[in-house]
């Protein structure tokens, strides 16, 4: 009973919170997040009430895609897949779960976010956390040393979802990777070129691709005097520089992680730098950094990378940024991350239209991981790899919002023609005609009524965007014709049965 009283209180408080947010015209996404909390509380209360009520919902952090959302998602997938194919990639598929052991020791601290399956006897399994580790497992298992592949599939992370910003527990990754022993930075440059092409084609707005190199980071840590066992933890502090000011990051390094303030200051001098070839040249001359073999290797590769990016014509939106660190353990060389830039102009337009700007953070990322395949190979044989990954949910959030703002109509079917009856008792000829159209590859429907009204049939076309209606009436049957109606113009012409298929094809390849 105490628990019930607590729940009731929580429901009342949450209702009040939602009411106040609505009164204050709070952003729509914030209200809807609070609303879903309220619904969960109410459901808990009902369960607690004894009258166990079934909660009709998808699991936390997941969502259904309705037909309209699927149509938008398909557009994004198309752009991405076409680009991957344009660059000559094959595709593979792997199971949604892996042996738990396969995923162990690959993700550092993030391992706690892995979904495990219940032990129902047999192997211990986990849902995949990304597509990179299954890819490395696939290469080692099949002894593949050379492949360029893409893989588009769902991955799972027990993270705190922020669904209105496109952060889910189940989400698609679109990965492209090049595995094999190749000449330095040519595959790396192609990966960045691909990120650039896709972001340009998707037209999500201005973007910037930050690059860095793990060897430059580690070399920098070394010359600044960071103890080797603190490299990874200091690295993850650096990774926060896109969300926190340097002073805060420094404080974390010194107060929380026990770094000497002088060391942190030295790091600070480096990680606030960004630029292109001129910066790389400067750092190659840097008295301390140039003494470090690892850093110098990384810098020379960065220099080569920018040469290649210039040849590909994409260097303008790519920035060498010493604060980019990336979370994952397995990177060994170049790392990169693409972010969308909300220009001042964008913000104003959106506010004028009273529509919330979607803040999505990083939208694609990747890097070089030369050691991962070797972790799976019994003899530790290495296969150098470099790749990239797009998160479709964040892209989808932006595309959906843009389309809503532009009030764009989206068709969810591809039906070209509805076979309709002008009078009653014409189900038989309707069924025969629609079967004829299907046979010729025409996308056609009939309404599932014996005697539908013509008006309802025409209305169905208007609602679903079907461009043509093939109307059968008693007169048409006698004359051996079909009345073909163009929904948008209401134009009607009689077409003989022999010419019907061709006429429909002619009229729908234009529309």
Candidate residues 4, 78, 95, 456; the one interacting with its own copies per rule CB under 8 A: 95
Candidate residues 91, 203, 272, 496; the one interacting with its own copies per rule CB under 8 A: 91
Candidate residues 3, 109, 123, 462; the one interacting with its own copies per rule CB under 8 A: 123
CB 388 within 8 A of CB 364: yes
Tokens of 2: 């105490």
Cβ nearer to its own copies, comparing 180 with 361:
180
φ/ψ of residue 342, rounded to 5: -85, 105
Only one of the segments 151-159, 216-224, 235-243, 286-294 lies at the binding site for its own copies (rule: CB under 8 A); that segment is 151-159
**CA nearest to 507, candidates 491, 498, 446, 497:** 491
Give the binding-site size for its own copies (rule: CB under 8 A): 88
User: Nearest distance from residue 455's CB to its own copies, in Å?
Assistant: 18
User: Nearest distance from residue 223's CB to its own copies, in Å?
Assistant: 31
Cβ nearer to its own copies, comparing 28 with 57:
57
Cβ nearer to its own copies, comparing 119 with 248:
119
User: Nearest distance from residue 51's CB to its own copies, in Å?
Assistant: 11
Candidate residues 180, 361, 371, 465; the one interacting with its own copies per rule CB under 8 A: 180
Cβ nearer to its own copies, comparing 151 with 483:
151
Only one of the segments 24-32, 65-73, 482-490, 502-510 lies at the binding site for its own copies (rule: CB under 8 A); that segment is 65-73
Pairing of strands 318-321, 207-213: parallel
Cβ nearer to its own copies, comparing 314 with 363:
314
Cα–Cα dist 369/143, whole Å: 17
Residues 6+ apart with CB under 8 A from 62: 168, 169, 170
SS3 203: coil
Query: Is residue 131 near its own copies by the rule CB under 8 A?
Result: no
Cα–Cα dist 377/383, whole Å: 10
SS3 178: strand
Cα–Cα dist 452/445, whole Å: 13
Q: Which CA distances in Å does 106 have to 3, 96, 134?
A: 41, 17, 11
SS3 309: helix
Candidate residues 17, 37, 42, 63; the one interacting with its own copies per rule CB under 8 A: 63
Tokens of 428: 């038989």
**CA nearest to 199, candidates 359, 323, 76, 360:** 76
User: Nearest distance from residue 446's CB to its own copies, in Å?
Assistant: 8
Q: What is the DSSP string of 198-224?
A: HHHHHT-S-EEEEEEEHHHHHHHHHHH
User: Nearest distance from residue 282's CB to its own copies, in Å?
Assistant: 25
User: Nearest distance from residue 507's CB to its own copies, in Å?
Assistant: 17
Touching its own copies, residues 383-442 (CB under 8 A):
412-415, 427-428, 431-432, 435, 438, 441-442
Candidate residues 17, 42, 158, 317; the one interacting with its own copies per rule CB under 8 A: 158
**CA nearest to 128, candidates 163, 170, 159, 90:** 170
Query: Is residue 109 near its own copies by the rule CB under 8 A?
Result: no
φ/ψ of residue 179, rounded to 5: -110, 140
SS3 225: coil
Query: Is residue 273 near its own copies by the rule CB under 8 A?
Result: no
Cβ nearer to its own copies, comparing 189 with 484:
189
CB 190 within 8 A of CB 394: no
CB atoms within 10 A of CB 7: 18
Touching its own copies, residues 352-371 (CB under 8 A):
none
CB 179 within 8 A of CB 145: yes
User: Nearest distance from residue 397's CB to its own copies, in Å?
Assistant: 15
Cα–Cα dist 426/452, whole Å: 9
Query: Is residue 59 near its own copies by the rule CB under 8 A?
Result: yes
Candidate residues 125, 174, 328, 421; the one interacting with its own copies per rule CB under 8 A: 125
Tokens of 243: 């969300």
User: Nearest distance from residue 357's CB to its own copies, in Å?
Assistant: 26
Candidate residues 376, 394, 470, 472; the one interacting with its own copies per rule CB under 8 A: 376
Binding mask 315-354 toward its own copies (x if CB under 8 A, else -) reads ----------------------------------------
User: Nearest distance from residue 211's CB to its own copies, in Å?
Assistant: 18
Only one of the segments 179-187, 217-225, 273-281, 361-369 lies at the binding site for its own copies (rule: CB under 8 A); that segment is 179-187
Pairing of strands 492-496, 481-486: antiparallel
Candidate residues 110, 312, 362, 477; the one interacting with its own copies per rule CB under 8 A: 312
Query: What's the CA dihedral at 138, 144, 147, 149 to 10 degrees?
Result: -10
Tokens of 170: 């189940």
Cβ nearer to its own copies, comparing 155 with 283:
155
Only one of the segments 146-154, 253-261, 475-483, 489-497 lies at the binding site for its own copies (rule: CB under 8 A); that segment is 146-154
């Amino acid at each position: 009973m105490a628990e019930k009283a607590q729940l009731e209180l929580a429901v009342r408080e949450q209702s009040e919170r939602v009411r106040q947010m609505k009164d204050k015209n709070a952003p729509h996404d914030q209200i809807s997040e609070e609303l879903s909390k309220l619904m969960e509380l109410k459901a808990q209360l009902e369960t607690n009430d004894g009258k166990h009520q079934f909660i009709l919902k998808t699991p936390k952090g997941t969502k259904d895609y309705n037909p309209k959302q699927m149509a938008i998602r398909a557009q994004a997938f198309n752009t991405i897949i076409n680009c991957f194919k344009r660059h000559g990639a094959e595709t593979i598929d792997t199971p949604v779960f892996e042996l738990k052991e396969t995923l162990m020791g690959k993700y550092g601290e993030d391992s706690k976010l892995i979904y495990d399956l219940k032990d129902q006897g047999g192997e211990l399994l986990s849902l995949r956390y990304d597509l990179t580790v299954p890819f490395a497992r696939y290469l080692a298992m099949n002894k593949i040393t050379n492949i360029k592949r893409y893989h588009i599939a769902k991955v799972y992370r027990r993270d705190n979802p922020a669904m209105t910003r496109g952060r889910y527990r189940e989400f698609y990754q679109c990965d492209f990777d090049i595995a094999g022993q190749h000449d330095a930075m040519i595959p790396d440059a192609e990966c960045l070129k691909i990120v650039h092409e896709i972001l340009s084609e998707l037209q999500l707005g201005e973007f910037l691709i930050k690059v860095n190199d793990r060897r430059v980071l580690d070399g920098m840590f070394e010359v600044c005097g960071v103890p080797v066992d603190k490299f990874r933890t200091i690295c993850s502090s650096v990774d926060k520089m896109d969300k926190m000011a340097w002073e805060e990051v420094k404080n974390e390094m010194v107060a929380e992680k026990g770094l000497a303030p002088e060391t942190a200051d030295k790091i600070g001098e480096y990680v606030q730098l960004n630029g292109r070839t001129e910066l790389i040249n400067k750092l190659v001359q840097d008295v301390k950094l140039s003494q470090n073999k690892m850093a110098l290797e990384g810098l020379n590769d960065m220099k080569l990378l920018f040469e290649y990016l210039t040849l590909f014509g994409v260097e303008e939106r790519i920035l060498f940024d010493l604060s980019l660190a990336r979370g994952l353990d397995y990177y060994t060389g170049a790392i990169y991350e693409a972010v969308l830039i909300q220009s001042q102009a964008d913000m104003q337009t959106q506010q004028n239209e009273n529509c919330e700007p979607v803040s999505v953070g990083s939208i694609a990322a990747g890097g070089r991981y030369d050691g991962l395949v070797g972790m799976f190979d019994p003899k530790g044989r290495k296969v150098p790899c470099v790749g990239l990954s797009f998160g479709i949910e964040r892209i989808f959030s932006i595309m959906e919002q843009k389309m809503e703002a532009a009030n764009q109509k989206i068709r969810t079917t591809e039906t070209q023609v509805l076979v309709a009856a002008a009078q009653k008792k014409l189900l038989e000829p309707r069924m025969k005609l629609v079967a004829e159209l299907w046979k010729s590859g025409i996308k056609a429907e009939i309404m599932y009524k014996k005697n539908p009204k013509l008006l309802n049939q025409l209305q169905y076309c208007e609602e679903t965007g079907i461009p043509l209606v093939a109307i059968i009436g008693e007169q048409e049957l006698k004359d051996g014709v079909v009345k073909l109606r163009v929904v948008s113009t209401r134009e009607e012409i009689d077409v003989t049965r022999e010419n019907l298929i061709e006429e429909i094809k002619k009229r729908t390849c234009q529309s």
